[in-house]
A and B are shown apart, each in its own frame.
Chain A
């Protein structure tokens, strides 16, 4: 493999991941200062092994979109239909609330 090719497909993503890991360790609130220092030291002094080890043992970052989401018209219609299905809304109430959301009644 040529030097440029190795730089692009090997070094570049490794550097990107390494920088990402360093930023993540610095921002983590679940680590004590000592552990942050240990991890940052490992990532800087033995970058490849430190990065591999960090990737394996780091806790998963939750991807949950916390709390209520913005309710779009589409979402509001689905929620109305579910409330009707569960018996929380009568047919008349469903159509009244639906009319408030859409022009269809």
Chain B
């Protein structure tokens, strides 16, 4: 399939969390506050948000970002956190019917879209189109999930024509240089709190350049031009599938991600290091585009290797990067020192946040689709932790005065961060211990297992 989206430029930018200008940024007070709030919430909900920019995005041009929609509310939160310019999110109008959510969407500049299947919805989207044109006209930024629905499958749903119609309509109304940016959101486990997220931003498509090609074939390019809308939608479809997870089924998604991880682990500068999720997801994405025979070969090789590993009782990380005693001891001392420094703050954080944590855990037990869980868990967490902290601040003011209340406002996030850091350090220590203990067992592993591993690496790299 031919696309105008050019190959990835090697000079890529990798960020973590807030990706914006290089130094302290200048933006409006409202934008600054929203950025800060979203950044804090994202850090609380996710362990890590890694961002990969395939190439530069013009900072001042009108921008229409299209993204996959696997995580419901979480997608909006993640995108608000990673995008250098805060986008106006185009979302279903049913959200505006929820009292607090509606106000929140208005506050962050959301744009409601009406769908015929939503009862009580308006019949026309003229207002939505006009709001999008206005936003783009002011060199603004809007975000659309062009699949139109949240997905529980590891693949992109058929891309609808809305994004293309908005882009072409805005161009017809006089907006120039619109950049269409495809962005893929990859969740390690979208239903879990404190999981990791990788955001893969592709190369922007210059709408004017694309429209010129449509015009050269004799078509007038407007939002009503079916051929142009169809062609642009296909461009968006191709761009999105390159950056977002798009697998045949869950089995293939698992196999290709494991295969990518195994192949990359052999190539890390530090063999004891962890494969960065972003690299793994990007390689797995390219494997998903390979011919079916190659994908089947990789899936089979991973299956056989996994069977052998399960029999031996090791993970690939343990087999490939067992820690030496010296390495483990150095790591142990360092982790214990840091954990000891964190402990008093972590203890206070645990005492304050234990009940809201239990409530969020209980919500996690509800049997709902993963995309629904990806929405309700962060929302519940934000609500219960917010209420708890409000009570603590109010109690501090009541008992000790305003200074204590303000100190609580400053320190509550510090205590929560300390608790999370402490617990994650303990988990890391346990994993390190397992890898060190695996050392003697790994040496006894037969050559057959290693041959199976080599088969996976070769299937990924040579196929």
Q: Chain A residues in contact with chain B, CB under 8 A?
A: 5, 8-10, 13-14, 17, 28-30, 48-49, 51-52, 55-69, 71-75, 77-79, 81-88, 95, 98, 101-102, 104-105
Query: A68 with B26: in contact, given A59-B32, A86-B5 (CB under 8 Å)?
Result: no
Verify B269–A60 contact, CB threshold 8 A.
no
Q: Name the A residues within 8 Å of B263 (CB-CB).
A: 77
Complex Cα gap A10–B19 (Å): 31
Residues of chain B contacted by A95 (CB below 8 angstroms): 462
| Chain A: minimal CB distance from B256 (Å) | 12
Q: Check if B16 is an interface residue, CB within 8 A of chain A.
A: yes
The residue in B3, B18, B24 that gathers the most chain A C-beta atoms within 10 A of its C-beta is: B24
Interface pair A59/B12, CB less than 8 Å apart? no
From the candidates A55, A69, A88, name the one contacting B410 in the complex (CB within 8 A): A55
Which residue of A has the minimal Cβ distance to B203?
Answer: A86
Chain B residues 1-37 with CB under 8 Å of chain A are 2-3, 5-8, 10-27, 29, 32-33, 35-36
Distance between Cα atoms of A64 and B19 in the complex (Å): 5
Residues of chain B at the chain A interface (Cβ within 8 Å): 2-3, 5-8, 10-27, 29, 32-33, 35-36, 39, 242, 263-264, 267-269, 275-276, 279, 282-283, 285-287, 289, 344-345, 348, 403, 406-407, 409-411, 414-415, 457-458, 461-462
Known A48-B406, A59-B27, A77-B267; 5 more pairs at CB < 8 Å:
A13-B345, A29-B23, A56-B33, A62-B24, A102-B267
Which of B5, B23, B29, B285 counts the most chain A CB atoms within 10 A?
Answer: B23
Distance in Å from the Cβ of A51 to the closest Cβ of chain B? Answer: 6
Whether the pair A78, B283 counts as a contact (CB closer than 8 A) is: yes
Residues of chain B within 8 A (CB-CB) of A5 are 344
Given A64-B22, A66-B22, A74-B275, A104 and B12 touching (CB < 8 A)?
no
Residue among B36, B348, B461 making CB contact with A9, cutoff 8 Å: B348
A49: chain B residues within 8 A (beta carbon):
403, 406
A4, B18: Cα distance in complex, Å: 37
Docked-complex contact A72 and B24, CB < 8 angstroms: no
- A69, B254: Cα distance in complex, Å: 28
Q: Given A29, A63, A86, A102, which contacts B6 in the complex, CB threshold below 8 Å?
A: A86
- Which residues on B sit within 8 Å (CB–CB) of A57? 29, 32
Q: Which residues of A contact B5 (CB under 8 A)?
A: 86
Bound complex: CA of A30 vs CA of B94, how far in Å?
42
The 9 sampled A-B contact pairs (Cβ below 8 Å) are A13-B345, A49-B403, A57-B32, A59-B32, A64-B19, A65-B13, A66-B22, A81-B283, A104-B458
Establish whether residues A86 and B27, one from each chain, have CB atoms under 8 Å apart when the complex forms.
Answer: no
Q: Within 8 Å CB of B287, what residues of A?
A: 81
Q: Which residue of B lies closest to A8 (CB)?
A: B344
Known: A14-B407, A75-B279, A102-B461. A81 touches B17 (CB 8 A): no
Chain B, Cβ-Cβ closest to A27: B24
Contacts of A17 in B (CB 8 A): 410, 414
- 10 closest residue pairs by CB, A with B: A88-B7, A86-B7, A73-B267, A81-B286, A74-B267, A68-B11, A82-B8, A85-B286, A64-B15, A74-B264
Say whether A59 contacts B407, CB under 8 Å: no
Q: Would B406 and A66 count as touching, CB distance under 8 A?
A: no
Chain A residue at minimum C-beta to C-beta distance from B409: A52
A60 to B39, CA, bound (A): 9
Q: Are B24 and A59 within 8 A (Cβ)? A: yes
List A contacts of B279 (CB < 8 A). Answer: 74-75, 78
> Which chain B residue lies CB-closest to A5?
B344
User: Smallest CB–CB gap between B7 and chain A, Å?
Assistant: 4
Q: In the bound complex, do residue A13 and residue B22 qualify as a contact, i.e. CB atoms below 8 Å apart?
A: no
Q: A49-B406, A102-B461 are in contact. Are A62 and B289 (CB under 8 A)?
A: no
Cα separation A11 to B174 with both chains bound (whole Å): 58
Nearest-CB distance from B389 to chain A (Å)? 14
- Known contacts A17-B414, A98-B461; decide if A65 and B289 are in contact (CB<8 Å): no
Q: Would A60 and B36 count as touching, CB distance under 8 A?
A: yes
Chain A residues with CB below 8 A from B264, complex form:
74, 77-78
B94 to chain A, nearest CB (A): 32
Most central of B33, B344, B410 by chain A CB within 10 Å? B410
Partner of B19, one of A51, A52, A62: A62
Decide if B10 touches A64 in the complex (CB within 8 Å).
no
Given known pairs A59-B27, A74-B279, A102-B461, the reply for A10 and B268 (CB within 8 Å) is: no
Are the CB atoms of A62 and B25 closer together than 8 Å? yes
In whole angstroms, how far apart are the Cα atoms of A63 and B17 in the complex?
A: 7
Contact B283 A63 (CB under 8 A): no
State whether A30 and B411 are in contact (beta carbons under 8 Å apart), knowing that A52-B406, A77-B263 are contacts in the complex: no
A10 engages B20 (CB within 8 Å): no
* Cβ contact within 8 Å between B24 and A104: no
> Is the Cβ of A62 less than 8 Å from the Cβ of B286?
no
